[in-house]
């Protein structure tokens, strides 16, 4: 038997066994959970989205990913543009790493000259 069917049957049985006030309280708690953002562990933590916000974010991400894939498959011009953008980004990263490596090397050399 499918897990979804079993889960639905259990939920229905539990829900049907509750009185009206208990059902209302359960529904209220469920809605609070869906809309409420979890508490941060530390004040420096980023805001944690509510379960509903996270689901919406995931749906939007999936839709955008699908749209980009379809556009990429159907548009050679977009494929070329994307290749150029990726090449440019890689070039910038490599240039920054080279500059950083050179700066670190220069700084270490200067410190060693002063010490020795």
Q: State the DSSP string of 4-62.
A: HHHHHHHHHHHHHHS-HHHHHHHHHHHHHHHHSPPPPSSTTSPPPPPHHHHHHHHHHHH
Looking at residue 33, what is its pLDDT?
87
For the chain, what percent of residues have pLDDT higher than 70?
98
Ranges of residues in the chain whose predicted pLDDT is under 70: 1, 116
Strand ranges in 50-99 using DSSP code E only, listed in sequence order: none
What DSSP element (H or E) covers 66? helix 51-74
CA dihedral 22, 28, 33, 38 (to 10 degrees): -110
Q: Please give the model's pTM, rounded to 2 decimal places.
A: 0.49
């Amino acid at each position: 038997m499918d897990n979804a069917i079993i889960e639905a049957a259990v939920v229905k049985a539990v829900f049907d066994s509750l009185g009206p006030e208990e059902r209302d309280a359960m529904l209220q708690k469920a809605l609070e959970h869906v809309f409420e953002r979890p508490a941060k562990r530390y004040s420096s933590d980023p805001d944690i989205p509510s379960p509903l916000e996270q689901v919406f974010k995931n749906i939007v991400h999936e839709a955008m990913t699908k749209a980009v894939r379809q556009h990429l498959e159907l548009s050679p011009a977009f494929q070329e543009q994307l290749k150029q953008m990726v090449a440019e980004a890689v070039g910038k990263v490599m240039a920054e790493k080279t500059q950083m490596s050179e700066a670190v090397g220069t700084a270490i050399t200067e410190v060693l000259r002063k010490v020795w």
